[in-house]
Structure 1
Amino acid sequence: MDTATLPNLSTKVCSIAAGEAHTLILTEDGRVYCWGRGILGRLGGGSEHDHHLPVQVRFGSEEYSVRIVGIAAGAYHSLALAEDFHGEKHSDGDYSIVPCLLNKFLDLHPPVSSSSSTIPEAEDESSLKITVVKAGGMMSLCIDNLGALWMWGHCPGENKEGGVSLISNFTPTPVWDFHGHIVVQVACGKEHVVALVTAGESYKGVDDLVCYTWGNNSHGQLGLGDKENRPRPEVVKTFDLKSPWVICEVTCGAFHTALLTQKKSPSDTLESTCWTFGLGDNGQLGHGTTQSKLVPEPVKELPQNVHLVSVDCGLFHTCVVSIDGYVWCWGMEKGLGLCPDDSNGGTHSGDALSPLLISCNPYQPKFPNPIQVACGAAHTVLVAQEGNKLWSWGRGRSGVLGNGKTMDSYTPTIVVWPPLIQDFKQESEGITETNDKLCSALNKVKLLQTKLSVMERYASMLHGFIFGEPFDEKEIATSLGNSGAFDISREWENILEAADSTKLRNLEMVYRNMLVAVKDKLMKRKIKEIINECLSSSHAENEHI
Structure 2
Amino acid sequence: MSRKVVGIAAGEAHTLALAGDGSVFTWGRGTFGRLGNGKEDEEHFPIRVDFPDASSEKQTSDPSISERDGGRSRPKFVGIAAGAYHSLALQEDGSLWSWGYNTLEGFQEMVLPGSLEEGSKPEKEHALLKVCSVAAGGMLSLAIDNVGGLWMWGNCPQLNKTEDGGFCFSSCPSPVPVWDFHGHTVVKVACGNEHVVALVTAGEKHTDGGDLLCYSWGNNNHGQLGLGDNTSRGRPEMINVFNKESVFEISCGAFHTAVLTRRKSGGGRDVDCKCWTFGLGDNGQLGHGTTLSSCLPEAVEGLPEDAVLISLDCGLFHTCVVSAAGDVWSWGMEKGLGLCPDASFTGDDAGDALLPIRMYQTEGPVQVACGAAHTVLVASDGYKLWAWGRGRSGVLGHGKTSDSFVPCLVLWPPLDEDFKEENMDPPKSGKVDATSEEIELLRSRLTIMERYASLLHVSIFRRQLDDRNLPRSLQGSGVFDIGKELEGLMESSDNEELARMEMFYSNMLASVKDKLLKRRVQEMVKETLKSLSAGSHSYGR
**TM-score relative to the length of structure 1:** 0.77
Is the aligned partner of 1:336 residue 2:337?
yes
Q: Which amino acid aligns with 2:259?
A: L
Distance 1:221 1:29 in 2: 37
- Equivalent residue, structure 1, for 2:184: 181
The match for 1:215 is 218
Distance in structure 1 (CA, Å) of the matches to 2:398 and 2:132: 32
Q: Which position in structure 2 is the counterpart of 1:273?
A: 274
- The residue aligned with 2:447 is 449
Written as runs of structure 1 = structure 2, the 5 A alignment for 1:75-154 is 75-84=84-93, 87-94=94-101, 102-103=105-106, 105-112=107-114, 127-154=128-155
Q: Which among 8, 11, 16 is matched to residue 16 of structure 1?
A: 8
1:279-332 per-position Cα deviation (integer Å, ceiling 9, x unaligned): 001000000001111111110111101100100000110000000000000001
**Deviation at residue 436 of structure 1 after TM alignment:** 8.5
Aligned match of 2:40: 48
Greater Cα offset, 165-174 or 112-121 = 112-121
Asked whether the 8 Å contact 2:408–2:455 carries over to 1, the reply is no
Q: Deviations for 1:111-150, whole angstroms, at most 9, x for unmatched residues? A: 228877989987555x310111000000000011111100
Cα distance in structure 2, aligned partners of 1:453 and 1:142: 37
Distance 1:230 1:206, change over 3 A: farther
Paired AA for residue 206 in structure 2: Y
Code of the aligned partner of 1:46: G
Q: Distance in 1 between matches of 2:48 and 2:482?
A: 45
Q: Which amino acid aligns with 1:139?
A: L
SS in 2 for 1:200: coil
Aligned partner of 2:275: which letter?
Answer: C
CA distance in 1 between partners of 2:461 and 2:111 (Å): 63
Are the structure 2 counterparts of residues 158 and 113 from structure 1 closer, same or farther at C-alpha, using a change threshold of 3 Å? farther
- What are the equivalent positions in structure 2 for 1:458-477 lying under 5 Å apart? 458-459=456-457
1:525 aligns to what?
none
Question: Structure 1's 477 and 236: CA in aligned 2 closer, same or farther, altered over 3 A?
Answer: closer
Alpha-carbon contact 2:331-2:355 (below 8 Å) kept: yes
What SS is found at the alignment partner of 2:180? helix
User: Structure 2 CA distance, aligned partners of 1:406 and 1:353?
Assistant: 27
Q: How many residues align?
A: 468
Specify the code of the residue in structure 1 equivalent to 2:354.
L
Q: Is the 8 A contact 2:184 2:202 kept in 1?
A: yes
Pair 1:419–1:479, CA change in 2 (3 A): closer
Q: Is the 8 A contact 1:56 1:423 kept in 2?
A: no
CA drift of 1:179 comes to: 1.3
- Specify which structure has the higher proportion of helix: 1
Identity across aligned pairs (percent)? 53
| Structure 1 residue 44: Cα displacement | 0.6
Query: Does the alignment pair 1:259 with 2:259?
Result: yes
The 2-side partners of 1:262 and 1:58 are apart by 40
1:310-459 to 2 correspondences below 5 Å: 310-339=311-340, 341-345=342-346, 350-359=351-360, 366-423=361-418, 442=440, 445-446=443-444, 449-459=447-457
Structure 2 residue matching 1:333: 3-state secondary structure: helix
- AA in 2 matched with 1:45: N
Provide the residue aligned with 2:517 in structure 1.
none
Are the aligned partners of 1:340 and 1:408 in contact in 2 as well (CA < 8 Å)? no
* TM-score calculated relative to the size of structure 2: 0.78
Q: CA deviation at 1:74?
A: 0.4
Cα deviation 1:502-534 (Å, max 9, x = unaligned): 99xx9xxx9xxxxxxxxxxxxxxxxxxxxxxxx
1:31 is aligned to: 23
User: CA contact under 8 A between 1:281 and 1:290: conserved in structure 2?
Assistant: yes
Q: 1:151 to 1:64 in 2, by over 3 A?
A: same
- State the structure with more CA Rg: 1
Q: Which residue of structure 1 lines up, in the alignment, with residue 58 of structure 2?
A: none
Contact 1:41 1:95 in 2 (8 A): no
Counterpart for residue 249 of structure 2 = 249
Deviation at 1:269, TM superposition (A): 4.2
Q: Structure 1 residues 267 and 141, CA, compared in 2 at 3 Å: closer, same or farther?
A: farther
Once residues 115 and 295 of structure 1 are traced to their aligned partners in structure 2, the CA distance between those partners, rounded to angstroms, is: 39
Letter in 1 for 2:375: T
- Structure 2 distance, partners of 1:343, 1:296, is 31
Contact 1:339 1:394 in 2 (8 A): no
Question: Alpha-carbon deviation of 1:486?
Answer: 5.9
Tell me, in whole angstroms, the C-alpha distance in 1 between the residues paired with 2:177 and 2:464: 54
Match of 2:290 in 1: 289
Instruction: Return the alpha-carbon distance in structure 2 between the equivalents of residues 136 and 418 of structure 1.
Output: 27
In the alignment, structure 1 segments of 5+ residues that lack a partner are: 1-8, 360-365, 511-545
In the alignment, structure 2 segments of 5+ residues that lack a partner are 54-68, 503-541
In the TM superposition, residue 264 of structure 1 has moved relative to its aligned partner by 5.6
Deviation at 1:441, TM superposition (A): 6.4
Does the CA contact (< 8 Å) of 2:345 and 2:351 recur in 1? no
RMSD: 3.6
Between stretches 475-484 and 383-392, larger displacement belongs to 475-484
Contact 2:277/2:286 (CA < 8 Å) preserved in 1? Answer: yes
Q: 1:60 to 1:322 in 2, by over 3 A?
A: same
Q: Deviations over 1:461-508 (max 9, x none)?
A: 6579xxxx998866656775555456899x79x979xx89x99xx9xx
Structure 1 counterpart SS, 2:282: coil
Counterpart CA distance in 2 for 1:443 and 1:340 is 43
Instruction: Return the alpha-carbon distance in structure 2 between the equivalents of residues 196 and 384 of structure 1.
Output: 26
